[in-house]
Amino acid sequence: MSAPENVPPAADPAHGVPSATTAAPDSGAAPAFAPAEGAAPAFAPAEGAAPARKLPRAVGVALATAGLLAVTATSAAVTVAVGKPDARPAAAAPATAGPTVSASPTAPASATPTPSAVPTTVAPVPKPASTVKGTVSGGRHDGDLRYFLLPIPDGGESYGPADGMTMSDEEVSELFGNQDGIMRILKSYGYKEAATRMYRTADGKAEVTVTLLHFGSAAQAGDFAKNHTMKLDPIDIDGDPNAHGYVNKPKQQAYTGSMTGISSQGDVQYTIDVDVKGNPDKALLSELMKRQREWLSSGG
C-alpha cells in the first residue's frame, strides 16, 4: 500500500505536539494462519487482507493531538510458522553382564547374581539465560529495551530470537506505511528506539505481538499513547487505567480475529496485538496489558 500523499509537520519543539491535520487512507486487515492443503481453514485471512511483509502484524494507526493532527498508516506482515523440535528420548544404558562362575571339584558351584541395568536419568536441559538487562527508576527505563518486553509465558514459542528484536528506523517506519516524514514526527515526540517480539501461546490458540516505543519522557510517551488510535471497534481494557483497545471480529468463526491494546508506562509506549481464531475474548488482551504494565513498572 502506498504511503499517504500529505505528510503532517513535525511537533512544535516548544509543546512536543504536531501542529497540522492530515488524513490518510484506511488500513487493511492483518494476514493470519494459512490452513494445510485440503483442510478447513484454521487461521484464514480476513477480507481485504494486506500483502505480507516482514513485520509481525497489520496495524492501522492514527496519531491525533488535541484535534490538530490525524495520521493514518498501514502495515502488514507475514505470520511465521515455527515447527517444534523433534522429541528425542535418551537411550537407556545397556545391561551389564554378570561374571561366569566355574564349578569346583570339592564344593558345589555358587551362582553370582547378575546385576540389573541401572536406569539412565537425563537432567532437563535448562533454558539459556538471557544476557539482556535493563533498569527502571521513577518511570525512566534504561538499558536494553528488549528487557522490558512482556516475558513469554511457560510453553510459549518465540517467533525469532527469544529475547526479541530491536527495530531499525526503517522497520518502525513500515509500521506506519512508510509515510514520508513519519520518523521526523515520531522524533518530535522524543522517540529514541523500539523493540518487538512475537510468540505463540502454549495451547497454540493465539499469537501475541508486543511492540515497545521508547520516548524522551513519560509525558511524551503518554501523549503518543493517548493519541494512537485505530479505525476499528473500540473495547475497554481492564486492569490498565491508561489503556484503550480495539477489536476486529471476523465474518466467519473459521477466520482470524484480532485485538489491539495501546498504553504507556513511564517513558515507554506499548502496543499488544493478539490474533486468535474466531471472535477474540478481550479478557486475554486485558490480562496481557496488565502484565506488561506491571513489568514496565517494576522491571521484573
Q: DSSP letters of 59-72?
A: --EEE-STTS--EE
Quickly tell me which residue has 539459556 as its cell. 128
pLDDT by position in tens, the chain (length 300)? 333 333 334 555 444 444 333 333 344 444 344 434 444 444 444 444 444 334 444 334 444 333 323 333 333 332 223 233 333 334 444 444 444 444 444 444 455 555 555 555 555 444 556 788 999 999 999 999 999 999 999 999 999 999 999 999 999 999 888 888 889 989 999 999 999 999 999 999 999 999 999 999 999 999 999 989 899 999 999 999 999 999 999 999 889 999 999 999 999 999 999 999 999 999 999 999 999 999 999 987
∠ CA 215-218-223, nearest 5°, is 80
